[in-house]
Amino acid sequence: MEDLIKHQYSVGVLCRNIGIYMGLSSKEIELLETAAFFHDIGKLFVPKSLLNKKEPLSIEEFELVKMHSLYGAELLKKIGFDSTVVSAIRHHHERYDGRGYPDGLRGEKIPLFSRIIAAADAYDVMTTGRIYKKPLPHDKAIEELIRYSGTQFDPEVVKIFLKMFKEEKAYV
């Protein structure tokens, strides 16, 4: 649980900085940051044994883990969060090439906040590691963002992310 909170906080700070760097309005930054802080809240409804499993997940197990974006979006919708936040959470695992989930959205059809969260989420996961994967150094994580720009990640978001890090405005 503590790791989830730390992760959501780190992703929130990164997203806030990206939003500022992109010139988003203060209201948009607030919504983006809120979505980022809650992007993985749906993992509370996924068995902890799956989230902490060291071995590869079975197809059925992975399908259960993938439900976290839907669970999170539904929870926040029920308690009255802004629809922009709900949508960002639902779609934060969409891929720029359309091969993500839950809806297989592609390119600009993916909400901007989801595209920003996707890059920040991946960077944080890569640099902090997981029970099943060791952390990467900053430079290697950046290489991965570049490598998957245009397939997994929005190329424009990656460009802004890289420029921001180059100017040292993103460190959490």
Which burial class, exposed, middle or buried, applies to 123 when counting CB atoms under 10 A from its CB (0-12, 13-18, 19+)? buried
Report pLDDT digits (tens) over 36-69.
999 999 999 999 999 989 899 999 999 999 999 9
Please give the CATH architecture assigned to the domain spanning 2-166: Orthogonal Bundle (1.10)
Whole-Å CA distances, 60 to 7, 69, 99: 25, 16, 18
The whole-number pLDDT of residue 132 equals 72
**pLDDT tens digits along 69-81:** 999 999 999 999 9
The residue to which tokens 């749906």 are assigned? 42
Look at the block and give the residue holding tokens 């669970």. Answer: 71
What is the rounded average pLDDT of the residues 5-31? Answer: 95
Residue whose structure tokens are 């920003």 = 116
The confidence score (pLDDT) of residue 169 equals 52
pLDDT one-digit tens code per residue, 80-98: 999 999 999 999 999 999 9
Return the pLDDT at 165. 85
pLDDT at 154: 99
Domain boundaries, the chain: 2-166
Cα separation, 71 vs 151, in Å, equals: 25
pLDDT value at residue 168 = 66
Give the containing element (helix H, strand E) for 133.
none
Q: Which of 121, 142, 130 is nearest to 8 (CA)?
A: 121
Residue type, 145: L
Please say whether the beta carbons of 9 and 37 come within 8 A.
yes
Residue 171 has pLDDT above 70, yes or no: no
Give the residue ranges of DSSP H helices in 23-154: 26-38, 48-51, 59-66, 68-78, 83-90, 112-128, 138-147
Distance CA 167, CA 45 (A): 38
The DSSP 8-state label assigned to residue 58 in this structure reads P
**Which residues are CB-neighbours of 117 under 8 A, at least 6 positions away?**
11, 15, 32, 35, 36, 39, 88, 92
pLDDT at residue 74 in the model: 99
Region at 101 (left for phi over 0; alpha for psi -120 to 50; beta for the rest): beta
Per-residue pLDDT of 107-155, as tens digits, reads 999 999 999 999 999 999 999 987 777 899 999 999 999 999 999 999 9
